[in-house]
Amino acid sequence: MDSGKLVSCLDFRYITDVLTEEEAYEILQKGQVGKKEREEQMLAHGYPAYTTSCAWLGYSDTTLKQLCSKALEDGWTRFKVKVGADLQDDIRRCRLIRNMIGPEKTLMMDANQRWDVPEAVEWMAKLAEFKPLWIEEPTSPDDILGHATISKALVPLGIGVATGEQCHNRVIFKQLLQAKALQFLQIDSCRLGSVNESLSVLLMAKKFDIPVCPHAGGVGLCELVQHLIVFDFISVSASLKDRMCEYVDHLHEHFKYPVIIKKASYMPPKDAGYSTEMKEESVKKHQYPDGEVWEKLLAAQGN
């Protein structure tokens, strides 16, 4: 699709104070330069991914070590650890994983909205020794100014703020960018609800020079978001600096066109469509209340 036609698909209402149609068109036109080379780069090497599968809260140290060792063997260089329930536990687990992956590999932290604003700053000051690239969702996802306060406080520690998986429209993202409330923008393909809305956010992020590192995982989110990251690199950002996409290694077996990961990177999908079609057998098994999975669950409850 040419730049003019693509711009005509976007809704600029409420965001023209930061991004006009003319600016969006100019960004896309500039993205034409080197586009072929970036396409070839994606086909050859894919888009960098990071893993969240190693360090969920509640995992024992033994499980964490096993999963981390396996991930390192498989070539992963970017890891995310969940934090926020207990400070001493966080310190122990972060030290464990940092010691395993070494000082050169990338570590991110995710608090899943656990803290009030002052608590987030205080807690992250204690975890700064482990050199996290970012703290994700440190407070309520609706608190734009709270994220801005945390962001400002963590700059001297070299820790960025990442958020966006709960943001449901371009206007919220506009305000997060205006308030300098994040250093890493995390779109969610389902939460934003359309390719069109996602594209307007990608373009705003480009204007503010903020890397987009999408939220993925769940049921089909990796499949959904892969198209957006490849488009962002080829046509909008033209950069992989500080950019990576989340990957969680489960539930892909239920999809007809599952995501392909090679050498810790998303490989561009070759099939037409948005990769969301589930296998009929999987849908049938999980259909409520007559599917095989539900029948077993309900029978177990009855007993």
Q: Which residues are catalytic?
A: 82, 215
Joined together, the tokens standing for residue 243 give: 């950019």
Phi, psi of 281 (to 5 degrees): -60, -40
| Cα–Cα dist 71/181, whole Å | 32
3-state secondary structure of 247: strand
Residue whose token pair is 């005509």: 8
Residues 298, 284 contacting (CB under 8 angstroms): no
Pairing verdict, β 265-266 and 261-262: antiparallel
Nearest to 49 by CA among 238, 258, 249, 218: 249
At position 54, the amino acid (one-letter code) is C
Q: Angle of helix 117-127 relative to helix 87-101, nearest 10 degrees?
A: 40
Give kind and range of the element (H or E) at residue 226.
helix 221-231
